[in-house]
Amino acid sequence: MISGDDITPPGLDTLAVREALPRSQYGENSEALFLTSSFVHPDAATAAARFAGEQDGFVYSRFSNPTVSSYEQRLAALEGAEGCMATGSGMAAILLLAMATLKAGDHVICSQGVFGSTINLFGRELARFGVEATFVSQTDVTQWAAALRPNTRMLFAETPSNPLTEVCDIAALADIAHGAGAELVVDNCFCSPALQRPLTFGADWVIHSGTKYLDGQGRVIAGAVCGRAAPIHDKLLPVQRTVGLSLSPFNAWVVLKGMETLSVRMAAHSAAALDMAQWLQAQPVIDRVFYPGLASHPQHALAMRQQKAGGAVLSFVLKAAHAEQARARAFHVIDQTRICSITANLGDTKTTITHPSTTTHGRLREEQRQAAGIGQGMIRLAVGLEDLADLKHDLARGLHTLT
């Protein structure tokens, strides 16, 4: 931990740059990368004590590693969490938490607006192991309360959601969870701790895909679970040691460096996305724009209480007479771009453009998509850090030539 009488407690940007800076005997100023699978002990007795957990010291990189440990400490500091456990991906983080805190016969309530693989994890994979899941509306708190059962152990939310940018009331969900002896988990990928700190609103756990804004430059896959120190040590660590959902030290190092610029990037992404959302809203061919930073967003007030800014992700719907025309128009706008990357990824300096109904949400049935409000005329944009004038020009090429 950073300490010092003159800066107590350090601000988020100081922590992002300096927390858990590992220094070797060489005194390097940039984080060292400890790319090693195992660690050498001075003698057999020390090895035995370290394996038994009676003495501090690294043993094997499936359990922990100095670079991975720096990543964990820095992310924990940014989230205001007591602890953090790194995982090889965002999905591995959710699986690790589920394996460590749930058992067969337990019940989970999950928002239907969460990341597609999260829906499959709870709805399909964990169901095979006897964990039941109920999916409810992202924004209707009464549905969450009504779905509670005596065996409910976890409420899982992601806010804002993808691609509709629906916002959950974290404090209200935490009250519902705690009143029923359950825990609230919040997937904080879209905001990152630079914009939103779910633990401060009462969440018990925060999930991260380090792949997104923590890295911020689209280079590696990484994940993490942040929460209280005791359950991380007593429940998550033993599972992690056994099953090995571990993060590569190299990937940890990349994301550790990415975190240094997190809040300047998130501020720039958010400013660009707000400007872009306002510009899109003024286009006559666009029916609706979804962005939490817009006053027209249904949960704008709640979003601005929970989040410092709107974040990078927005979506918009093109006007069209029917679904077939809507899809053709969306494809036209996407295909006319020359700067935006046509990809389902986000969390990058590069702006990405996506047609959710045929990609990220393509595996849903049409009526599920209808229920989720994801039509054929919807386009998702994760606004990057290019010049905004160039991005508008790139989109205008398609928007202004719709037939």
Ligand X SMILES: *Cc1c(COP(=O)(O)O)cnc(C)c1O
Residues of this chain that bind ligand X (CB under 6 A):
89-91, 115, 158, 187, 189, 209, 211-212, 221, 223
With respect to ligand X, which residue has the nearer C-beta, 114 or 180?
Answer: 114
CB-facing half-sphere around the CA of 96: CA atoms within 13 A: 35
**CA neighbor of 286 nearest in space, from 322, 319, 328:** 319
Least distance in Å: CB of 362 to ligand X?
16
- Considering the complex, state which of residue 66 and residue 160 has its C-beta at the smaller distance from ligand X: 160
CB of 345 to ligand X, least distance (A): 8
Please report how close the Cβ of residue 102 comes to ligand X at its closest, in angstroms.
18
Nearest distance in Å: CB 202, ligand X:
20
Distance between CA atoms of 183 and 152, rounded to whole angstroms?
A: 9
Question: Cβ of residue 286: shortest distance to ligand X, in angstroms?
Answer: 24
Enclosing H/E stretch for 89: none
Q: For residue 346, what are the CA distances in angstroms to 66, 351, 354, 371, 393?
A: 28, 8, 9, 24, 21
Name 336's Cβ contacts closer than 8 Å, sequence gap at least 6: 394, 397, 398, 401
Nearer to ligand X, 225 or 280 (CB): 225
Q: Which is nearer to ligand X, 183 or 394 (CB)?
A: 183
d(CA 316, CA 328): 15
Listed residue (46, 45, 76, 44) closest to 58, CA to CA: 46
Q: Between 96 and 395, name the residue whose CB sits nearer to ligand X.
A: 96
**Min. distance of Cβ 28 from ligand X in angstroms?**
28
Q: Would you say 255 or 326 has its CB closer to ligand X?
A: 255
Which stretch of DSSP H or E encloses residue 356?
Answer: none
